[in-house]
Structure 1
Amino acid sequence: MGLALDEPEEKDKVVNINEVVVAIDPDIEIYTENLTLDFSQEANGLVLAGNESNCC
C-alpha cells in the first residue's frame, strides 16, 4: 500500500478527513480503516500507522 500526493482517479472514493480531502482506491479501502497519517522524523516524511492486523 502506498501514499501519493496526486489528483483522485475516477474510481476513487473522495472523503474529507479533518479538513483534508483524501482519495481512497476502493480496492484497498478495507485496509485504510483506523489508520493515522503522521509525520515521522525517522522516515523524514509522512507515514501511515495503525491497523497492523489488516496489513498487506
Structure 2
Amino acid sequence: MGLALDEPDKNDVVVTINEIQVAIDPDVEPYTEGLTLDYDQENNGLMLVGNESNCC
C-alpha cells in the first residue's frame, strides 16, 4: 500500500476531502473509515492516523 500524486484508476473510489479530490483503491477503501491523512514534519511525509482497530 502506498500514496501517490497521480490520476485515479478507473476503478478507484474518488472522494473530495477539504476541497481536494482523493482516489482510493476499492480494496483499501473499507479500511480508511475513521482515518485521517496527516503530515509528519519529523519524517517529512504523509501518514494515516486514527482508529487502530481498522488496521489490516
TM > 0.5 fold call? yes
User: Any stretches of 5+ residues in structure 2 without a counterpart?
Assistant: none
Identity %: 73
TM-score normalized with structure 1 length: 0.86
Unaligned runs of 5+ in 1: none
CA-atom RMSD in angstroms: 1.1
Residue 16 of structure 1: aligned partner: 16
Number of corresponding residues: 56
TM-score, length of structure 2 as denominator length: 0.86
1:19 Cα deviation after fit: 0.3
Give 1:51's aligned residue.
51
Contact 1:31 1:51 in 2 (8 A): no
